[in-house]
């Protein structure tokens, strides 16, 4: 014979909580911040202000000039460490290895220029020491009348250096910049 058991279960919840990501702690879900126009220049769905590297714009005009200001947020654990901001004209993937970590920049002539000549135009404050909060600012500035650069896509990222080994202690995300008319 066959035995059939019919059991009835009632499933319930007491005090369910639904939480949303709020990486900047402003009380607004990140998805709402993004929908309201908060910056996500690298398009990864994370507010730029919640990443190691953020910027104030995604474009700079070749005809009127302008700048992109970077905010470096390495955190207080990296306070007083040296940082190095570099760039690439050939993208961020796959990047290159430096001291066992992948820096999200592809090596090219611009990368070499930004590494060999830090704190030189078009980058300002690209090499320095992080403050007590592990933060710094840097910028990319383009002067007037560079129409030949329209459509150029750049990426920038930074590395912090361990004060003892001079090896990388932290590496940021890459932030894009497009030169527009």
Task: Provide DSSP, 140-180.
Answer: EEE-S--GGGTT-EEEEEEEEE-TTT-SEEEE---EEEEEE
Confidence of residue 44 (pLDDT cuts 50, 70, 90): confident
- Residue 99: CB partners within 8 Å, gap ≥ 6? 167, 168
Residue 23 has pLDDT above 90, yes or no: no
Q: Tell me 6's DSSP state.
A: -
pLDDT of residue 100: 94
pLDDT in tens, 45-94: 888 888 999 999 999 999 999 999 999 999 999 999 999 999 999 999 99
pTM of this structure:
0.84
Q: Which pLDDT does position 42 carry in this prediction?
A: 78
Would you place residue 179 in the very low, low, confident or very high pLDDT band (cuts 50, 70, 90)?
Answer: very high
CB of 134 closer than 8 Å to CB of 57? no
Q: Is the preceding omega at residue 94 within 30 degrees of 0, hence cis?
A: yes
Backbone angles phi, psi at 131, to 5 degrees: -75, -175
CB 57 within 8 A of CB 174: no
Tell me the pLDDT band of 6, cut-offs 50, 70 and 90.
low
When computed from its CA atoms, the radius of gyration of the chain, rounded to whole angstroms, is 22
Whole-angstrom distance, CA of residue 34 vs CA of residue 47: 7
Number of other CB atoms surrounding residue 163 within 10 Å: 12
Say whether 35 sits in a helix, a strand or coil.
helix
pLDDT band at 4 (very low <50, low <70, confident <90, very high): low
For residue 9, name the pLDDT band (cuts at 50, 70, 90): low
Residue 93 — φ and ψ, nearest 5°?
-120, 130
């Amino acid at each position: 014979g066959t035995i059939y058991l019919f059991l009835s279960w009632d499933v319930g919840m007491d005090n369910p909580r639904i939480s949303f990501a709020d990486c900047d702690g402003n009380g607004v879900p990140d998805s709402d911040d993004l929908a309201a126009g908060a910056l996500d220049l690298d398009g990864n769905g994370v507010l730029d202000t919640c990443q190691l590297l953020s910027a104030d714009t995604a474009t700079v005009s070749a005809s009127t000039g302008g700048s992109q200001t970077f905010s470096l947020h390495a955190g207080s654990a990296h306070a007083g460490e040296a940082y190095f901001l570099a760039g690439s004209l050939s993208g961020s993937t796959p990047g290159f290895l430096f001291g066992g970590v992948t820096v999200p920049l592809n090596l090219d002539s611009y990368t070499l220029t930004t590494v060999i000549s830090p704190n030189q135009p078009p980058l300002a404050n690209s090499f320095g020491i992080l403050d007590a909060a592990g933060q710094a600012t840097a910028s990319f500035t383009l002067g007037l009348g560079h129409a030949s650069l329209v459509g150029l896509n750049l990426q920038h990222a930074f590395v912090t250096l361990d004060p003892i080994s001079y090896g990388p202690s932290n590496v940021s995300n890459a932030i894009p910049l497009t030169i527009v008319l």
